[in-house]
Amino acid sequence: MDKYDVAIIGAGPAGMAAAAQASDLGLSTAVLDEQIRAGGQIYRDVDKAAPQRGEILGKDYTDGTRLTKALRQSAVDHIAGAVVWAIEDEFRISYTCEGRGAQILADRILLATGALERPMPIPGWTLPGVMTAGAGQILLKQSGVVARGAVLVGSGPLLYLIAAQMVRAGLPPAAMIETQVRGDTFRALRHLGGAIRGWPYMAKGLKMLAEIKRAKVPRYTGATEISIEGDGKTEAVTFTHKGRRQRIDCETVFLHHGVVPNAQAARSLGVSHGWDAAQSAFVPELDEWGQSDVAGVFIAGDGAGIGGAKVAEHTGRLTVLKIAENAKRLSTQDRNRMAAPLRRALARELAVRPFLDAAYPPYSAALQPTDSTVVCRCEEVTAGSIRGYAKIGCLGPNQTKAFGRAGMGPCQGRYCGLTVTALLADANGQSPDETGYYRIRAPLKPVTLGELAAMNETTQDATE
Amino acid sequence: MKTASPFLEIESGPRVDVTWEGKTLSLPEGSNLAAALLAAGVEVFRHNPVSGAPRAPFCMMGACFDCLIELDGVTRQACMLEVSEGLVISRPSEQGGA
């Protein structure tokens, strides 16, 4: 079994930057990623897509080729198409690649598992034709596929980015139904100082809004009571805007109200998480180097708290400095010297976050869905059922599994976990920290018996 | 099969034949299988095993498991596969579970 100084999970901006730097510092490094080509979701398939549709996707996307190139030119073992399903015993990593199970060993783990879309349970969100905005972007990046006449629902910079990209592709969205209200803008203005320091982000945002306006995409801000309707597939979005009920016919809806750390692997390793009120999400408890409270486990990028692609890149490199020091490849003095410019860059990139978090908060009706709304997509458990479990004494998310299987389907709570915590916390008058989150165990992704059988053969081969 | 998909391919390249639910579809070679099926007009990928409700790709990043299909007798996530000549795929037979 191959053994490495560090194994990095995820080849997005944090993982790619960290891997190249780790290798430069003399650490034997493996990076495992589910996708066949490096990039993560933000730079999904960038090597293939940048030459074909870089104009539509923009420079922030094509910039990802800088990181894929550095990874390619490094001595890192990039194990592509690898679905990691267990990390155990300090540390044996089990994964499936090309239909076979396999394992590697590593002294340290760097989780660069990125973000997931914040679950947005609104009536009708399980209908075919409803996707996340991130999914819409992936369709465009990886496949050059754009939905005609799509309606974008929710809030936040990613919604404007995908709208602008659809405009550039010649297929502007039919409408944007936005959930932020005027009060959010006022609250955000308290963070104006940060917004000014993060001016390049603000300038990009204004440019995208101008593109959307020029394309005459109707925008409905402060929308409430949003519902997706259709018989077996998406047919329309209905919502209340300025006191009037509206209906927009469409076949495709893209949902987005922020992204949250993808903590499945971190939680399976027992890393402590705490509630971050500004980000409305659980974030791992880390020191300033991305080191968790589990020895040998480090986290960088959006999985450590949402900051975006540039922040991910910087935190990836910063965390590797600590790992290299830990592996006696870097003196403490050199570590601190090399960290200084990264910390300055991080502060610059993070300056705009408080403004954005306040200006585009999650859609409140999707944090506390109506009783009939499905919250667990896999097992079709409704918000009303979860509230019902609370009434008969259910205090925490792990108990809801026994009451009604919420979080026990194949997605393993990825798209219901935060909602279930929020519903129980509200019903029981507790905080999200008191309520807690699902206990996450291996396998992190389903694994077939055939894949396991294939792994036993390889293990035997290796010992013969 | 409906062909008027709302999902449009903005470029064209070489295509290959695959079999979906016993019918032949011509899909872009090497493209993401879930994206290619959407563009080919496939509206329902599977039915939820609890309620039987129709489902289709939601996250496109391997997290939601709503794009499950069956390939060579194994339930797989369509969004994690690439199109190649001669794939024989269908809706998952065992109640759509993984």
Find tokens 């809801």 and name the residue. Answer: A400
CB-based contact B55 A83, cutoff 8 Å: no
Contacts of B65 in chain A (CB under 8 A): 378, 409-411
The domain ranges of chain B are: 15-90
Q: Is A53 on the interface with B (CB under 8 A)?
A: yes
A200: left (phi over 0), alpha (psi -120 to 50) or beta: alpha
**Distance (Å, whole) CA A67 – CA A46:** 10
Contacts of A410 in chain B (CB under 8 A): 65, 68, 97-98
Distance from CA of B44 to the nearest CA of A (A): 7
How many other C-beta atoms lie within 10 A of the C-beta of residue B51? 12
Contacts of A41 in chain B (CB under 8 A): 61
Q: Which residues pair with A95 in a beta bridge?
A: A84, A102
**Minimum-distance CB partner of A135 among B44, B51, B60:** B60
Find tokens 């391919």 and name the residue. Answer: B9
> What separation in angstroms does the CA of B49 have from each of A17, A125, B55?
41, 17, 10
Contacts of B92 in chain A (CB under 8 A): none
Average pLDDT of B27-50?
96
Helix, strand, coil % over all residues of chain B, rounded to 5? 10, 35, 55
**Distance (Å, whole) CA A10 – CA A292:** 17
pLDDT band for B1, please (50, 70, 90 cuts).
Answer: very low
Q: Which residues pair with B7 in a beta bridge?
A: A147
Predicted local distance difference test score (pLDDT) of residue B3: 54
In a mutagenesis test of the A interface, which of B59, B68, B74, B76 is the best target, namely the one with the most A β-carbons within 10 Å? B59
A-proximal residues of B, 2-41, CB under 8 Å = 6-11, 28, 31-32, 35-36, 38-39
Q: What is the mean pLDDT for each group of 10 consecutive residues in chain A (464 residues)?
A: 96 98 98 97 94 93 97 97 95 94 97 98 98 97 96 96 96 98 92 90 94 98 98 98 98 98 97 96 98 98 97 98 97 98 96 94 97 96 96 91 89 95 96 96 89 71 45
Assigned token pair, A373: 């709304």
Three-state DSSP class for residue B51: coil
In CATH terms, the fold of domain B15-90 is Ubiquitin-like (UB roll) (3.10.20)
Q: Phi and psi for A452 in degrees, rounded to 5? A: -65, -45
Predicted local distance difference test score (pLDDT) of residue B98: 43
**Distance (Å, whole) CA A284 – CA A279:** 12
Residue of B nearest to A446 (CA): B98
Q: Which residues pair with A246 in a beta bridge?
A: A239
Contacts of B8 in chain A (CB under 8 A): 145-148, 171
**A77-80 vs A29-33, strand pairing mode:** parallel
How far, in whole angstroms, is CA A433 from its chain's centroid? Answer: 21
Q: Is B73 on the interface with A (CB under 8 A)?
A: no
CB-based contact A129 B35, cutoff 8 Å: no
**Minimum-distance CB partner of A143 among B35, B63, B68:** B35
CB-based contact B60 A252, cutoff 8 Å: no
How many other C-beta atoms lie within 10 A of the C-beta of residue A447? 18
Residue of A nearest to B28 (CA): A143
Distance from CA of B57 to the nearest CA of A (A): 7
Predicted local distance difference test score (pLDDT) of residue B16: 98
Predicted local distance difference test score (pLDDT) of residue A249: 98
**Distance (Å, whole) CA A103 – CA A115:** 25
Q: Who's near A108: CB < 8 A, 6+ residues apart? A: A5, A6, A7, A91, A296, A297, A298, A323, A326, A327
**Distance (Å, whole) CA A290 – CA A430:** 29
> What separation in angstroms does the CA of B73 have from each of B77, B87, B93?
13, 12, 9
Distance from CA of A24 to the nearest CA of B (A): 30
Q: Is A236 on the interface with B (CB under 8 A)?
A: no
Structural domains of chain A sorted by starting position, each given as residue range(s) with its CATH number in brackets: 3-116+260-330 (3.50.50.60), 119-257 (3.50.50.60), 368-430 (1.10.10.1100)
CB-based contact B98 A139, cutoff 8 Å: no
Three-state DSSP class for residue B60: coil
Compute the C-alpha angle A386/A387/A389, nearest 5°. 65
Residue of B nearest to A264 (CA): B63
Predicted local distance difference test score (pLDDT) of residue A450: 85
Q: Are A185 and B26 in contact (CB under 8 A)?
A: no
A·B CB contacts under 8 A: 128
